[in-house]
Structure 1
């Protein structure tokens, strides 16, 4: 009870002092479909969302590593995000946290909100004033919810897709759910923006470590197609990051393996080719590195000047003669 009274006094959940429809209509208008989900094997948690509304990811999706994730939509009260995470971090179950916040919200009839915590517990609310077709399904480790859909097939399609793709990494699994929603009819107005965040199972020390994946498509004719492309690029850069760490540890073979994985996912990216060439050169394999360098320099001469600058930083360890020959 004391916790509830503190929240009642201190947490700015209710964004309007009046429950009149005209006032609620002024809240952000993100009618949409979304999923909050947890990977039972890794403990990672995610939010995926798509809408016919600009920059849906800036207000719907919220997450904190080791704590949980929140999706707040329909006539959006963004305060459900940070306040819901705060309550779950204090140890409240999603159902308890959501009940407290709904009690403080005069516009709850217009809200659609889903909470999920690090234990896989879920809670979801679909207000009776949400525009049809509106509905939700919540179970252990995931909740899917939608409003203003073309039909009532969207939520069942999302549930089915999540259950059928448990073999995929969480981000790719969530993307499959969004694609299933769109295939079933999606938002009655069409499509415009999408977002995907993934947070880890353990709490982190620094704010910049919170999100393992943080992708937004704010305005696009095919937001889910673009989101899928961005996720593929993100995975390629994960290979790149591991390759860089291997280079720092002087493990050239491991670096080449990781850089090769990046190039396989994103073969047209010059930077991925470039650092593969650098790794080859540093391991004394100039015969293999030189053709890569030449192709990169032909595509963009700036990389040649970049190569001249690397030895001074200790990132390219070849002889002066080899450098001159390479960049002539």
Structure 2
């Protein structure tokens, strides 16, 4: 019933343009960050809450447009409506002002907008549960409500500004800083991060750089960090696969090794690295790796044989039989 009421509320909001406070709205009290990388132009939003699957409710982003975090008594329509207004050319501030003015439940909202120029705007309603507040700056906004302490958003801002590296790394630093300040007064449950490109490619599947969710976990930020490392490892795997497709097996080997450094216990990464070694005629190095993999799971041996027909493994029949006898 609750999901039906929420769906009905969203549909009314999207079709009428008005935003009306409903008791059925989920209590996504939380902390979040919207941010932009000033060098690459990448746009991101991340969130953590003591609420199941907060990422499905609270964070939105479109390549070349901006990002939205909507929380407290969360009104999900701020996401698509805010992005549409910014896509039409409104600044983050003007878009947020418009939607707040139309929302009879505004005192219960906490919302942050970021546009593709790095402009930010945030709003913390007067009826948000303490401790609640936000800090905005060029290329970022941090916001939190129902925190144990009123130091959370300040710690997040400092962590983001003082951390170097990729946008995802800086955003994670802000989230970890919030937890270091004890975060949500109720504890922790779910987290999510979404990062998109600086410009839309016209292909939606190419526009998202990272989209990770921890739906229910005792340590969601810690688990999010683990998945972010795995995500990076698979980015190297993808680059290795592309290098293999073009016949650049030496480049593929470099990428596969970088992937394994981030995710050393993953058998599949080890397998494709070993296959690439075979394609590079480095049988001595590949043999012990494949033997270890085959011992752990004999299905990899079956797959090795199938790769020949797909021309992903170029090896003589005698060498193949030697490998399959391991």
| Band of TM-score, shorter chain | over 0.9
CA distance in 2, matches of 1:196, 1:10: 24
Q: Of the candidates 144, 147, 168, which is equivalent to residue 146 of structure 1?
A: 144
SS of match in other structure, 1:152: coil
Quote how far apart the aligned CAs of 1:237 are.
0.3
Aligned residues of 1:252 and 1:279 also touching (Cα < 8 A): yes
Structure 1 counterpart SS, 2:24: coil
Distance 1:134 1:70 in 2: 18
3-state SS of the aligned residue for 1:201? coil
Q: 1:31 to 1:14 in 2, by over 3 A?
A: farther
Q: Secondary structure at the match of 2:288?
A: helix
Match of 1:104 among 102, 105, 115: 102
Output one character per residue of 1:105-161: Cα deviation in whole Å (capped at 9) or x when no partner: 111111111000111000111111100000000011000000000010101100110
Aligned match for 2:42, one of 34, 41, 44: 44
CA 1:44/1:146 → structure 2, altered by over 3 Å: closer, same or farther? same
Q: CA deviation at 1:209?
A: 1.9
Which residue, 299, 304, 307 being the options, matches 2:304? Answer: 307
Shift of 1:46: 0.8
Deviation string 1:12-59 (CA, Å, 9 cap, x unpaired) is: 45454xx5xxxx331021000000001111111111110000000001
Distance 2:23 2:48 in 1: 20
Matching residue of 1:322: 319
* Structure 2 CA distance for aligned equivalents of residues 240 and 162 of structure 1: 29
Cα deviation 1:150-183 (Å, max 9, x = unaligned) = 0101011001101110x22110111110000011
| Unpaired stretches in structure 1, ≥5 consecutive residues | 1-7
Residues in 1 aligned to 2:248 and 2:300: alpha-carbon distance in whole angstroms = 24
RMSD of Structure 2 on Structure 1 (CA): 1.4
Mapped to 2, the partners of 1:13 and 1:194 lie a distance apart of: 29
SS at match of 1:272: helix
- For residues 61-140 of structure 1, the aligned pairs below 5 Å read 61-140=59-138
TM-score in terms of structure 1 length: 0.93
* CA distance in structure 2 between the partners assigned to 1:213 and 1:72 by the alignment: 19
Q: Which runs of 4+ in 1 moved over 3 A?
A: 8-16
Unaligned regions of 5+ residues in structure 2, if any? Answer: 1-11
Report how many aligned residue pairs link the two structures. Answer: 314
Partner of residue 191 from structure 1, selected from 188, 191, 202: 188
1:185 Cα deviation from its structure 2 partner: 1.7
**CA 1:77–1:289 in 2, change beyond 3 Å: closer, same or farther?**
same
Query: Separation in 1 of the partners of 2:273 and 2:16?
Result: 51
